[in-house]
Chain A
Amino acid sequence: MSDALRQKQAGLLLDEGLIFEHGSPGRCGVDLPADVPEATAFLPADLVRAPIDGFPEVSEPEALRHFLRLSQWNFGAATTFYPLGSCTMKYNPLANEVVARLAGFAALHPLVPDACAQGALELCWELQDMLAEISGMDAVSLQPAAGAHGELTGMKMIRAYHRDRGDARRTVLIPASAHGTNPASAALAGYKVVSVEGNQLGLVEAAAVRRAMNDQVAALMITNPNTIGIFEREIAQVADAVHAQGGLVYFDGANLNALLGVAKPGKIGADVLQFNLHKTFSTPHGGGGPGAGPIGVRAALAPYLPAPRLARHGDQLAWSDAPARTIGRVRSFHGNFGMLVRAYAFIKALGGDGLTRATAMAVLGANYLRVRLQTTYQLAVDGLCMHECVFTDKTLEPHGVKTLDVAKRLLDYGCYAPTIYFPLVVPGALMIEPTETESKETLDAFIAALEAIAREARDTPALLHAAPTLTPVGRLDEAHAARRPVLRWWPAGQGGAAQ
């Protein structure tokens, strides 16, 4: 057990060791028959494994208590305001958890004949249509497992599109404010990345794109609204500049929560975009996945969508394994179906009017925070924002306080922290995204906390430097953890040599 932890913790904040530090030899959390023949009855002896040394030996109640205690060490969007910019931490409706667990979905094997899965196929078909309507794209594939996976899929499609035209383009333009997944996805698809600088508002200007464009550029990847929360006003001219040289526009849909019912990417120049169902469409973030990253494309790119594709034959739906010019498979089976069920239920619950209202309230909340906080913290850019607002560390600097200190102090106030130090183009960025599901009272409490922290920064900066103090552990030494990585627990007597 971790004795050092116990010194500090009492009452509701309970200590908990690793699962491997619990239990007793011979204990087991399931009851299974012991009178089954040994494996050697069916397998060559030299192929049979000995019991796995170090594996847990706990009862069911011990296991439950262990994981429940761990859960209590987490902030989640259900327990606290979670204003993590760019992540759209909206409420995850409980009803969606129920429907995703219906036996007709949860117990369905991915390779049953299509005739035995018509309900699942109908759901996918309808979800594709709804996403196409929302985005203005012509065709949708639900296959990619996550946003970054959708980006990779889209970039591979762009590559295939150009190759079919005998056009081996080599580079991709990406604004400096982009998420790191954009350049990483482009590189993984075999492209060289060229950065495009934004203007003083962080916006991409058509003139800059025209200068950077040439017949070697396969695509521009652009996030709209951008990562500073500002709508790219020249998006149409930017897209024209890319298209004029035969390039394509990859539209990162990470910030689609700002656009529902307001603007359709497919109508303002996008050729390919990914939907982050775990952001805009409320599927749980799960502590880091599983998400789902469907992609939408214009008709010219539809032939390259990943396999398999859905096809309708009369009143029956069926998977078609190898559409002619597909880039192929990007994962097994049919996408993260369980997340598709949740997103479908969300869109059905809100409807067209509800989705439009969601965007309106998300944008209203972000602007409310922006205006209320702009006298205390310095805005990265002035003027209206979309679904998120970004502040710099300029007002903190004179007090020897960093963005990180503000973030850590917020934890003591019972809030998760905004996204920090991103986008990279904003010094000491604090990126705040409230989403539509947070009430005015919650936003007011958050504003009061940030105002109190600004006063503390001025009067008692040591409080911020020491924060957080009300959490199970204080700031952890990440530099040391990376220098001498301990990435697992080892059974007694093992592991010394490895690390």
Chain B
Amino acid sequence: MRFIPHSPADIAQMLATVGVGSVDELFRDIPPALRATGALALPTGLSEQDVRARLEALAARNRGARDLCFIGAGAYAHFVPAVVDNVLQRAEFYSAYTPYQPEVSQGTLQAIFEFQTLTAMLFDLEVANASMYDGASATAEAVLMALRLQPKKPRVIVARSLHPEYRQVIETYLQGAAAVELLEAPFGPDGRVDLAWLAQHLDGRTAAAVLGYPNFFGVIEDLRAVRGLAAPQGALLVTATAEPLALAVVQPPGALGAEIAVGEGQSFGVPLSYGGPGVGLFATRFAHVRSMPGRLVGEARDAEGRRGYVLTLATREQHIRRERATSNICTNHGLVALAVTVYLSVLGKEGLRRLARLNLERAHRAAARLCAGGRWRPAFSGPFFNEFAVRGRDAVAALERAQAAGVLAGVPLARWYPELDDALLLAVTELHDTAAIERLAEVLEA
């Protein structure tokens, strides 16, 4: 076996040292009744060449990876500069583990410190953690944190326009917290949360209001207005950003009053990979840092005054605090956080803005093109970034015809919103040039 180095001579010597006569004897402490009967019913091992062939055959059956695709809905296809994957393929990064020994883990630790800085700057908040699993679980953890910060307030308001899977994960995480009352805020014709409803329901018992930013429909919520309703009641504004590229051109949640801002970092240099792994972004104000979930890296000095980085404030975490920890999360999504760090470094201040403007322009061009013929109309009137919904008769049938023609022209909103049964949600990024947009319009025109 190519990964296992032991020769017959090695095994004989090691067994002799241990003082047992056979490999099987190493397991003599396991009561015989508990031993597996018979060999594992799995095929014999394959050579590298045969494994590759098997995986290539499976990959080839994923037609969706080749089709022209306008699906977003929480996962976004963007171009990834070669430098990102080159760094990820450094085995010094990918084959390391949690930096328990900081002196030989400065690469991982400094990269995470840079990741925390970039995440905090992106959201315009003071502090960010070393990452979470994904945007959905980060949002659920943000809700738990808001409840920890305000233990006497039982109500959490979640916008119906928040990503449906994020809402579902919040519900799962809150199971068992019997005292929490979860309310769903409806959306208005602009695709934004209904402010009148919010004014009625956001009261002194409300710990948090949770909104997508941009929301699931691609629409940019009016955070200032929501903050204006939440602040007088002492409720925390929590935002969840599934397409963080938007924040390169749109006002960041921290500047508009969000106390906790989370997101999904997949857009920043991470392949779609059928939805995982992505990386959860998690930022807040410094005052709340000791209630944060997840790992944190901080600056430290050695005895000679040299700068280095360590895991810090670990007394919040499970390996110290056990059942009283702020979360059960152990590792983060370190390598994906590294991808985000490299990507944001290469794109940088100006590149990220240009890319975001390109997305903004292409998406608005595509929306205008689709709606020009009258076959489709905008579903919502609110401002959007690179994702939008359109409505028209027989939307699902149109989508199926497009699929037959090799174009995945978005997702039907009816899957999550029965009230939007004639609506499609589409994302348009820098990967979609004029020809792609024309092709989209052509296949959806029918």
Q: Do A and B bind each other?
A: yes
Cβ contact of B306, chosen from A5, A37, A53, A187, cutoff 8 A: A5
Most buried by B among A76, A268, A284: A76
* Interface presence of A391 (CB below 8 A): no
* A333-355 near B? 1/0 per residue, CB < 8 Å: 11111110100110111111111
Q: Which chain B residues border A57 with CB–CB below 8 Å? A: 348-350
Cβ contact of B172, chosen from A87, A185, A235, A330, cutoff 8 A: A330
Q: Which chain A residues border B176 with CB–CB below 8 Å? A: 156, 159, 189-191
Query: Would B44 and A361 count as touching, CB distance under 8 A?
Result: no
22 A–B pairs (Cβ distance < 8 Å), ordered by A: A28-B351, A42-B364, A43-B383, A49-B247, A49-B250, A56-B349, A63-B342, A71-B107, A75-B96, A104-B66, A112-B69, A187-B328, A263-B35, A264-B36, A267-B36, A285-B98, A285-B331, A352-B39, A370-B18, A371-B17, A440-B14, A476-B301
Cβ contact of B42, chosen from A130, A193, A262, A474, cutoff 8 A: A130
- Which residue of chain A has its CB nearest to the CB of B54? A348
Q: Which chain B residues border A58 with CB–CB below 8 Å? A: 345-346, 348
A452: shortest Cβ distance to chain B, in Å? 18
Query: Would B104 and A471 count as touching, CB distance under 8 A?
Result: yes
* Interface presence of A291 (CB below 8 A): yes
A399: shortest Cβ distance to chain B, in Å? 21
Query: Would A476 and B102 count as touching, CB distance under 8 A?
Result: yes
Cβ contact of B334, chosen from A46, A77, A105, A286, cutoff 8 A: A286
Query: Would B42 and A347 count as touching, CB distance under 8 A?
Result: yes
- The distance in angstroms between the C-alpha atoms of A100 and B39, with both chains bound, is 29
- Which residue of chain B has its CB nearest to the CB of A61? B83
Known: A29-B81, A116-B403, A122-B58. A331 touches B106 (CB 8 A): no
Q: Which chain B residues border A67 with CB–CB below 8 Å? A: 83, 87, 90, 111, 338, 342, 345
For the complex of A and B, 7 pairs with smallest distance between CB atoms: A104-B59, A190-B176, A333-B275, A110-B275, A286-B335, A112-B64, A119-B61
Cβ contact of A33, chosen from B45, B92, B329, B358, cutoff 8 A: B358
Query: Which B124-157 residues have a C-beta within 8 angstroms of A?
Result: 126-128, 130-131, 133-137, 144
B421: shortest Cβ distance to chain A, in Å? 17
* Interface presence of A458 (CB below 8 A): no
Q: Which chain B residues border A68 with CB–CB below 8 Å? A: 87, 90
Known: A328-B168, A332-B275. A481 touches B300 (CB 8 A): yes
* Interface presence of B436 (CB below 8 A): no
Q: Which chain A residues border B347 with CB–CB below 8 Å? A: 28-30
Query: Would A74 and B11 count as touching, CB distance under 8 A?
Result: no
* Interface presence of B295 (CB below 8 A): yes
Query: Would A184 and B325 count as touching, CB distance under 8 A?
Result: yes
* Interface presence of B442 (CB below 8 A): no
Query: Would B27 and A117 count as touching, CB distance under 8 A?
Result: no
Query: Would B274 and A108 count as touching, CB distance under 8 A?
Result: yes
Besides A87-B97, A370-B18, A408-B103, 13 other A-B contacts (C-beta < 8 A): A4-B306, A32-B430, A33-B358, A74-B104, A74-B108, A98-B52, A120-B274, A130-B42, A180-B319, A286-B334, A364-B11, A364-B23, A485-B298
Q: Which chain A residues border B319 with CB–CB below 8 Å? A: 179-181, 422
Q: What is the total number of residues of chain B having a CB less than 8 Å from a CB of chain A?
A: 200
- The distance in angstroms between the C-alpha atoms of A335 and B67, with both chains bound, is 23
A94: shortest Cβ distance to chain B, in Å? 8
Q: Which of B71-79, B189-197, B202-210, B226-234 contacts A (4 or more CB under 8 A)?
A: B71-79
Query: Which A296-311 residues have a C-beta within 8 angstroms of B?
Result: 306-307
Query: Would B28 and A74 count as touching, CB distance under 8 A?
Result: no
* Interface presence of A320 (CB below 8 A): no
* Interface presence of A212 (CB below 8 A): no
- Which residue of chain A has its CB nearest to the CB of B255? A49
- The distance in angstroms between the C-alpha atoms of A422 and B45, with both chains bound, is 35
Query: Which A26-69 residues have a C-beta within 8 angstroms of B?
Result: 26-30, 32-34, 36-39, 41-44, 46-49, 51-58, 60, 63-64, 66-68
* Interface presence of A388 (CB below 8 A): no
B223: shortest Cβ distance to chain A, in Å? 9
Q: Which chain B residues border A119 with CB–CB below 8 Å? A: 57-62
Q: Which chain B residues border A455 with CB–CB below 8 Å? A: none
Q: What is the total number of residues of chain A having a CB less than 8 Å from a CB of chain B?
A: 211
Query: Would A475 and B352 count as touching, CB distance under 8 A?
Result: no
* Interface presence of B122 (CB below 8 A): yes
Q: Which chain A residues border B41 with CB–CB below 8 Å? A: 133, 352
Most buried by B among A23, A34, A55, A267: A55
- Which residue of chain B has its CB nearest to the CB of A466? B303
Query: Would A122 and B61 count as touching, CB distance under 8 A?
Result: yes
* A104-141 near B? 1/0 per residue, CB < 8 Å: 11111111110111111011000000100110100000
- The distance in angstroms between the C-alpha atoms of A88 and B99, with both chains bound, is 15
Known: A52-B349, A74-B93, A352-B43. A63 touches B248 (CB 8 A): no
- The distance in angstroms between the C-alpha atoms of A84 and B175, with both chains bound, is 35
Most buried by B among A26, A231, A476: A476
* Interface presence of A445 (CB below 8 A): no
Query: Would A407 and B107 count as touching, CB distance under 8 A?
Result: no
Query: Would B62 and A118 count as touching, CB distance under 8 A?
Result: yes
- Which residue of chain A has its CB nearest to the CB of B104? A75
Most buried by B among A110, A123, A193, A352: A110
Cβ contact of A29, chosen from B30, B94, B348, cutoff 8 A: B348
A1: shortest Cβ distance to chain B, in Å? 10
Q: Which chain A residues border B307 with CB–CB below 8 Å? A: 2, 4-5, 473
- The distance in angstroms between the C-alpha atoms of A185 and B324, with both chains bound, is 10
- The distance in angstroms between the C-alpha atoms of A43 and B320, with both chains bound, is 47
Query: Would A102 and B42 count as touching, CB distance under 8 A?
Result: no
Q: Which chain B residues border A145 with CB–CB below 8 Å? A: 133-134, 137, 276-277, 333
Known: A341-B55, A498-B286. A187 touches B114 (CB 8 A): no
- The distance in angstroms between the C-alpha atoms of A472 and B126, with both chains bound, is 29
Q: Which chain B residues border A262 with CB–CB below 8 Å? A: 27, 30, 35-36
* Interface presence of A12 (CB below 8 A): no
Q: Which chain B residues border A97 with CB–CB below 8 Å? A: 89, 94
Query: Would A116 and B74 count as touching, CB distance under 8 A?
Result: no
Query: Would B349 and A55 count as touching, CB distance under 8 A?
Result: yes
A417: shortest Cβ distance to chain B, in Å? 5
- The distance in angstroms between the C-alpha atoms of A483 and B381, with both chains bound, is 49
